[in-house]
Amino acid sequence: MSLHIGDRAPDFTIDSTKGKIHFHEWAGGSWVFFFSHPADFTPVCTTEMGRTANLAADFAARRTKPLGLSTDTVGEHLKWIADVNDTQGADLDFPILADKDLEVSRLYDMIHPEESETEAVRSVFIIDPERKVRLIMTYPMNVGRNFDEILRVIDALQLADRKTVATPADWKPGNRVIIPPSVSNDDAKTLFPQGWEEVRPYLRMTTTD
């Protein structure tokens, strides 16, 4: 199955390092950062798991629950977590799904057969509280993900929802934002009383507080 932005995130039930997870129920009213890994006890994955654990407060501040997936068993995951904590100075407390049979990996199109028939590539799904897929990123097995970018895009999505804006290239919190073309100048006067700079009629820059 291939998933697209805007699709409803498929539900599933599977064992994890925190017991059985019923995905939609577990997600509750939170955002979810769902990310897959090829296998336990591999170097790139170990750094990514440690980085996620060490960003626990940053994810919590964004009302976002991390959820890992690796195509190994709960027993292997638990041994690996001890290694992650040891080597990355972490205290990993989010669940890792035990997708030994590739059930969830297939459901979320994380198996790219030319890369591996049995291991997931590095997929990221950002899922909103309505269970809608809001971002999909796919990295190859030998390149670790950029976690500053993952936090940045969650910030951008949440700001876009709150303020009806779009964010320009390389946007960071505090930078100017874009008034989307779908917003007329009349509506913009109400939505953005602080005003805007019209660089072009289709490129209107404004501020957020």
Residues in touch with ligand BEZ (CB under 6 A): 38-39, 42-45, 141-142
Which of 27, 45, 69, 81 is the catalytic position?
45
Please report how close the Cβ of residue 91 comes to ligand BEZ at its closest, in angstroms: 21
| Encoded amino acid at 193, one letter | P
| Encoded amino acid at 133, one letter | V
Please report how close the Cβ of residue 77 comes to ligand BEZ at its closest, in angstroms: 14
Please report how close the Cβ of residue 48 comes to ligand BEZ at its closest, in angstroms: 8
**Residue with smaller CB distance to ligand BEZ, 17 or 46:** 46
**Residue with smaller CB distance to ligand BEZ, 39 or 205:** 39
Please report how close the Cβ of residue 72 comes to ligand BEZ at its closest, in angstroms: 12
Q: Do residues 15 and 122 lie in contact, with contact meaning Cβ atoms separated by under 8 Å?
A: no
3-state SS of the chain?
CCCCCCCECCCCEECEECECEEHHHHHCCCEEEEEEECCCCCHHHHHHHHHHHHCHHHHHHCCEEEEEEECCCHHHHHHHHHHHHHHHCCCCCCCEEECCCCHHHHHCCCCCCCCCCCCCCEEEEEECCCCEEEEEEEECCCCCCCHHHHHHHHHHHHHHHHHCCECCCCCCCCCCEEECCCCCHHHHHHHCCCCCEEEECCEEEECCC
Please report how close the Cβ of residue 142 comes to ligand BEZ at its closest, in angstroms: 5
The residue assigned the tokens 């390092």 is 17
**Residue with smaller CB distance to ligand BEZ, 127 or 141:** 141
Q: Is 45 a catalytic residue?
A: yes
**Residue with smaller CB distance to ligand BEZ, 92 or 141:** 141
**Residue with smaller CB distance to ligand BEZ, 39 or 157:** 39
- Of 171, 168, 206, nearest in space to 187 by CA: 206
Active site residue ranges: 45
